[in-house]
C-alpha cells in the first residue's frame, strides 16, 4: 500500500454539476436533500454566460451551473449528457504543481494554470480530463506566489445564504465512474499512474452478476484514504443489458454514476429525505428475513430498517448501512447513495444481488433490459 501523493491532493473541494436550470436544481437540492445555498454567481455578479449556485451541507459543496446560452460549452455538455457531473474538483497544495505533474504523468490538459481572482484575492486553478467529458479541477489557495483568498467560496461568487433544513449529510464518501466495456483497467491505471491512487478493492462479475445487471468494479483510493473513486464497467449478463450499459447509453459516454454521501445517523437522515420526497430503490421484503443471519448483531431495529428500506452489509471491521436513490434526472443516469459506516470500509458487496434485482425491475419498467 502506498501513501504517495504526487499531485498534492488534499480533498474534494466541490463537485460541479451542469444542469439545465440551476435555479430549479437549487430548489431541489435545498428542499429535498437539505442543502443550504451558500454562494451565487450570475447576471447580478456580472457573469453573463453561466449561472452557478453553491450548495453546502456538512463538508459537502455542490456547484450547480447552467449555461445562459448555446455558446457556452456547458450547453453542449447538457445537450449530450443531460444533467450530470462535470467537475470533481480537488483542493490541492499547489495547482501549478498538480497540473504539471499530472500532465507529465499522461493526463490530458483541459485548463492551463491561471489566476482566478476578484476583490477578495485570488486562487490558482487548472484542470485535467478524466473519463467521458468529466474533468478534475485543481484549486490552491495559498502557494508560493502569495495567492490568498478571503471570499465566501471562489472568486466571482458572492455570499448568498438561504438556509435549508439539513438532513445530516456530512461528506462525500466516494464517487463512482461508469466507463465503457473494456475500459475499466485503463481508467484504473490512469488513477494509479497520474494521481498516485492504489487498488483498494476489486469486484468481479462473480460478486456482482445477476441475470442482467452484471458489472465489474475496481475501487481506486488515494494513499490517505480520503478520496475513493470506484470505476465500473459493464459485464456480459445473460442476455439483458447491464445497468452500466444503460447509463452509458443515456449519458452518451462514460461519466459519474453516483455520489455517495456519508451521514452519522442514517435512520434519521433517510426518514427526513423520504419525508422530503426523495425516491429510493427498494429491495424485496425477504431481504430483511435473511438479514440477521447474514450480518449478525447490529444496533438498529430491523423493522425500522425495513420500513425505510435501508440495507446492511458487514466486513471484518464492522458494518455499514446504505440506501440508493433512484436517478435524479429523467435520463437513468446520476443517483445518490446515502450511507453510514460503523467500522466497515467496504462498499456493500453483500447487497449487490438484492439491489441489482430491484435495479433490473426499474430497467424493465423503463424498457431498457
Instruction: Considering only residues 210 through 269, tell me which ones interact with Fe ion, judged by CB under 5 A.
Output: 260
Quick one: 44 exposed, middle or buried, by C-beta within 10 A (0-12, 13-18, 19+)? exposed
Cβ(284)–Cβ(111) below 8 Å: no
The phi and psi torsions of 79 (rounded to 5 degrees) equal -60, -40
- Among the listed residues 81, 111, 69, the one whose alpha carbon sits nearest the alpha carbon of residue 18: 81
Quick one: 9 exposed, middle or buried, by C-beta within 10 A (0-12, 13-18, 19+)? buried
Query: CB-wise, 250 or 347, nearer to Fe ion?
Result: 347
Look-up: residue for cell 449528457? 81
Nearest distance in Å: CB 256, Fe ion: 11
Query: CB-wise, 337 or 360, nearer to Fe ion?
Result: 337
Query: CB-wise, 96 or 337, nearer to Fe ion?
Result: 337
Nearest distance in Å: CB 257, Fe ion: 9
Nearest distance in Å: CB 76, Fe ion: 29
Query: CB-wise, 208 or 260, nearer to Fe ion?
Result: 260
Cβ(294)–Cβ(350) below 8 Å: yes
How far is residue 267's CA from residue 323's CA, in Å, rounded to a whole number?
Answer: 10
Beta partners for 256?
A: 177
Size of the site for Fe ion (CB under 5 A): 2
Cell of 145: 506566489
Nearest distance in Å: CB 258, Fe ion: 6
- Among the listed residues 190, 138, 99, 123, the one whose alpha carbon sits nearest the alpha carbon of residue 11: 138
Candidates 108-116, 159-167, 202-210, 337-345 — which segment interacts with Fe ion by CB under 5 A?
337-345
Cβ(116)–Cβ(126) below 8 Å: no
Residues with Cβ within 8 Å of 159's Cβ and at least 6 positions away in sequence, in order, are: 38, 39, 151, 152, 153
Nearest distance in Å: CB 152, Fe ion: 31
- Residue 313 lies near Fe ion (rule: CB under 5 A): no
Candidates 22-30, 99-107, 304-312, 330-338 — which segment interacts with Fe ion by CB under 5 A?
330-338
Nearest distance in Å: CB 104, Fe ion: 31
Nearest distance in Å: CB 228, Fe ion: 9
Query: CB-wise, 65 or 221, nearer to Fe ion?
Result: 221
Query: Kind of pairing, strands 255-263 and 311-315?
Result: unpaired
How far is residue 219's CA from residue 210's CA, in Å, rounded to a whole number?
Answer: 20
Query: CB-wise, 190 or 336, nearer to Fe ion?
Result: 336
Query: CB-wise, 18 or 229, nearer to Fe ion?
Result: 229
Among 337, 340, 346, 354, binds Fe ion (CB under 5 A): 337
Look-up: residue for cell 448555446? 70
Quick one: 263 exposed, middle or buried, by C-beta within 10 A (0-12, 13-18, 19+)? buried
Query: CB-wise, 248 or 260, nearer to Fe ion?
Result: 260
Nearest distance in Å: CB 227, Fe ion: 14
Nearest distance in Å: CB 118, Fe ion: 36
How far is residue 141's CA from residue 121's CA, in Å, rounded to a whole number?
Answer: 9
- Among the listed residues 46, 66, 45, 64, the one whose alpha carbon sits nearest the alpha carbon of residue 159: 45
Query: CB-wise, 94 or 233, nearer to Fe ion?
Result: 233
Name the site residues for Fe ion (rule: CB under 5 A). 260, 337
Amino acid at each position: 500500500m502506498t501513501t504517495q501523493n504526487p499531485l498534492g491532493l488534499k480533498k474534494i473541494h466541490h463537485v460541479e454539476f451542469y444542469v439545465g436550470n440551476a435555479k430549479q436544481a437549487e430548489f431541489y437540492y435545498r428542499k429535498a436533500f437539505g442543502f443550504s445555498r451558500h454562494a451565487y454567481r450570475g447576471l447580478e455578479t456580472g457573469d453573463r454566460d453561466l449561472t452557478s449556485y453553491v450548495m453546502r451541507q456538512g463538508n459537502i459543496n455542490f456547484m450547480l451551473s447552467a449555461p445562459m446560452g448555446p455558446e457556452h460549452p456547458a450547453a453542449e455538455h447538457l445537450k449530450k449528457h443531460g444533467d450530470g457531473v462535470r467537475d470533481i474538483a480537488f483542493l490541492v497544495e499547489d495547482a501549478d504543481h498538480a497540473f504539471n505533474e499530472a500532465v507529465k504523468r499522461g493526463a490530458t490538459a483541459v485548463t492551463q494554470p491561471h489566476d482566478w481572482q476578484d476583490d477578495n484575492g485570488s486562487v490558482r486553478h487548472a484542470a485535467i480530463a478524466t473519463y467521458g467529458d468529466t474533468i478534475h479541477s485543481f484549486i490552491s489557495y495559498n502557494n508560493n506566489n502569495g495567492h490568498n483568498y478571503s471570499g465566501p467560496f471562489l472568486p466571482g461568487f458572492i455570499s448568498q445564504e438561504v438556509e435549508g433544513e439539513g438532513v445530516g449529510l456530512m461528506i462525500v464518501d466516494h464517487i463512482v465512474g461508469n466507463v465503457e466495456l473494456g475500459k475499466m483497467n485503463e481508467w484504473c491505471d490512469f488513477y494509479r499512474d497520474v494521481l498516485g491512487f492504489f487498488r483498494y478493492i476489486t469486484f468481479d462479475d462473480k460478486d456482482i452478476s445477476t441475470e442482467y445487471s452484471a458489472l465489474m468494479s475496481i475501487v481506486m483510493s488515494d494513499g490517505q484514504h480520503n478520496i475513493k473513486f470506484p470505476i465500473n464497467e459493464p459485464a456480459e449478463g445473460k442476455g439483458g443489458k447491464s445497468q452500466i450499459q444503460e447509463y452509458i447509453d443515456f449519458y452518451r459516454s462514460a461519466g459519474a454514476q453516483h455520489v455517495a454521501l456519508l451521514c452519522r445517523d442514517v435512520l434519521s437522515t433517510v426518514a427526513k429525505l423520504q419525508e422530503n420526497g426523495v425516491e429510493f430503490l427498494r429491495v424485496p421484503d425477504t431481504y430483511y428475513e435473511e438479514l440477521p443471519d447474514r450480518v449478525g448483531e447490529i444496533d438498529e431495529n430491523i423493522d425500522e430498517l425495513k420500513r425505510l428500506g435501508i440495507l446492511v452489509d458487514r466486513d471484518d471491521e464492522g458494518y455499514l448501512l446504505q440506501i440508493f436513490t433512484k436517478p435524479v434526472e429523467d435520463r437513468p443516469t446520476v443517483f445518490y447513495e446515502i450511507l453510514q459506516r460503523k467500522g466497515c470500509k467496504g462498499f456493500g458487496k453483500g447487497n449487490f444481488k438484492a439491489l441489482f434485482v430491484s435495479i433490473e425491475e426499474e430497467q424493465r419498467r423503463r424498457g431498457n433490459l
